[in-house]
Amino acid sequence: MRTSVRVPVGAGLAALLLAAGAVGCSKGDGSESPRMTPAAAVAKAAKNADDIDSIRYRMTGKVPENGRVEAEARTRIKPTFAMSMKMTAPDQGAAGTAEFRLVDKAVYIGGGPEAAKEMDGKSWIKIDLSELGMDEKVNKLIGASQAADKNPATESTFLTWSKDVEKVGTETVEGVKTTHYKGTVALADLEKSIGDEDEVVREERQKSLDRYEKMGADKLVMDMWVDGDDQTKQFRMRADADKGPLDLTFTFFGVNEPVEVAAPPAAEVADLAEMRKGAQQG
């Protein structure tokens, strides 16, 4: 049995982290306070992410090196954290399809038939977060994003640091009337914004910045579609990177709906820790 599977793990987990603290949709009518400036409207929508218990969303776009990506995902934040994402990277061929589940302090990565060929018929890899010392960190991150006075340290809040945020107009997204805002965010300005946040939130924000800097990007072009309840219905981020364009759009379909995530059948799962032990003994 091999100890690796060719699935877009990096892109998938990055997308999961990106969306974990993103804001969700609601039933607003697209109305907007005439006294609210574009910057204030964006800040209010970002802040409202704190009240979300669960979200369901779609992600489409391009990421450097992996090319096109498409995903459908569900995330439960309270009372316990869980995620489920089905992701496809069309430009990666058969190895570009994978499913991710985070439940009961473990991450399961499913690669389908391609993965089964490399793992004696097992199509899922299990990564125990407690063995990696990550379970407590995940708990702290979720707690910080829900309890902090300021916005969660996710890319969905970066538009609040734009110096040129503006209202584009009123648009309908998936049948919901929204107000479209747009702005450019320099990574240097985001770097300066890291300061008095919670330690875990600050660490996650720094990791996000480091990821973009490694891509060779120096700024992000961001769009946000906000509904009449001051919630984000859609969010887009773009950047010119050294290894190709970054262009991701998140569209939200549900907020605070029941989300159940189950671990795959045990017979279909290969435990990464056991695989490593076997490799060491070998």
3 domain-assigned: no
Q: Which is nearest to 140 in space by CA: 210, 81, 82?
A: 81
2 domain-assigned: no
195-235: per-residue pLDDT in tens? 655 565 666 667 777 778 788 788 889 999 999 988 888 98
171 domain-assigned: yes
100 domain-assigned: yes
CA distance 73 to 253: 10
* Structural domain boundaries enclosing 175: 9-281
| 18 and 154 Cβ atoms separated by less than 8 Å | yes
198 domain-assigned: yes
DSSP tag of 138: H
Structure tokens given for 169: 């107009």
Most confident of 7-21, 34-48, 174-188: 174-188
4 domain-assigned: no
97-121: per-residue pLDDT in tens? 888 898 888 888 887 766 667 777 7
Percent of the chain with pLDDT strictly greater than 70: 67
141 domain-assigned: yes
Q: How many structural domains is the chain composed of?
A: 1
Identify whether 79 is preceded by a cis peptide bond (ω within 30 of 0).
Answer: yes
CA distance 41 to 281: 58
CATH number of the domain to which 136 belongs:
2.50.20.20
Of 157 and 155, the structure prediction assigns the larger pLDDT to 157
Helix segments in 170-198, DSSP class H: 187-193
CB atoms within 10 A of CB 96: 22
143 domain-assigned: yes
57-112: per-residue pLDDT in tens? 898 998 887 788 898 988 887 788 888 988 888 887 766 788 889 888 888 888 77
